[in-house]
Amino acid sequence: MERIGAVLIDIDGVLTVSWKPLPGTVAAMERLREAGIPLALVTNTTSRTRASIARKLVGEGFPVSADDILTAPVVTAAHLRQHHPGARCLLINTGDIRDDLTGVTLVDEDEEESADGGAPDVVVLGGAGDAFTYAALNRAFRHVQRGARLVAMHRSMYWRTAAGLDLDTGAFLLGLERAARVEAEITGKPAGSFFATALAHLGATAPHALMVGDDIESDVLAAQRAGLTGVLVRTGKYLPETHRAADGTPDHVIDSFADLPALLERPGT
Ligand SMILES: [Mg+2]
């Protein structure tokens, strides 16, 4: 296990489903901690701040802190500060993530057309949910059509909740891109820059790092393209047909995150 430089771990569908731990995942993370392996939880979750996620996970027994967690909003804020400094941003997101958008100027929906502010420079799509109303998406469409840049935290099509699969941002984003004839800048997984940010956070390099996820495209194959070792788990959003249809092969496939310590202890891993 000592030769592993870092482990990046997706949260939803890997450690938890609807924020409840999957069997054996708390114990598996404790074993990684005992082995002293640097780890980061890397998530496209857009419904909570990293502090709120940490509280939730600690409450379920996971040995983590807010500093171990990198969310799509945190990485999006870094992207906006770097590539669109000073931009007025219209955020469409379900859940309050404002605390993680440090240094980003958000346009209030009610004030966006006011004389002093002017229209937004960037439309930022976060996670789908009740905030993705016709009115909000149509507002985004109009701003993008007249020239605002389109930034999206991810292209995920669906995620798993306790009630089943729920439609996610990617489905709406495709329509918006087609209608406005633009391509969004993606900041969360599977963007290569997302993995680079996470590795920099841990002071690790891709060839010595592992990414564990339940999304074969966004977590596993994207990490492998970025030079990491990819590990697919058969929990969360995992579907055998998606696995078969993927245009790549994970380096490793395990039934659950609970099996990760055993995989790391296997010679040659
Ligand atoms: Mg996941």
- Condensed to tens digits (0 to 9), the pLDDT of residues 100-152 reads 999 999 997 665 555 456 799 999 999 999 999 999 999 999 999 999 999 99
Residues 237/214, Cβ–Cβ less than 8 Å: yes
Model pLDDT, residue 111? 59
SS3 67: helix
The model's pLDDT over 47-60, given as tens digits with 9 standing for 90+, comes to 899 999 999 999 99
* DSSP letter, residue 45: -
82: CA distance to ligand 1 center in Å? Answer: 27
Calculate the average pLDDT of the chain.
93
180: CA distance to ligand 1 center in Å? Answer: 29
142: CA distance to ligand 1 center in Å? Answer: 31
Residues 222/190, Cβ–Cβ less than 8 Å: yes
237: CA distance to ligand 1 center in Å? Answer: 7
Lowest mean pLDDT among 1-5, 87-91, 126-130, 163-167: 1-5
The predicted model gives 81-98 an average pLDDT of 94
129: CA distance to ligand 1 center in Å? Answer: 17
27: CA distance to ligand 1 center in Å? Answer: 19
Model pLDDT, residue 132? 97
pTM score over 0.95: no
Question: Which pair of structure tokens corresponds to residue 173?
Answer: 């984003």
The predicted model gives 207-219 an average pLDDT of 95
Residues 246/217, Cβ–Cβ less than 8 Å: yes
149: CA distance to ligand 1 center in Å? Answer: 27
SS3 82: helix
CA distance linking residue 226 with residue 221, whole number of Å: 9
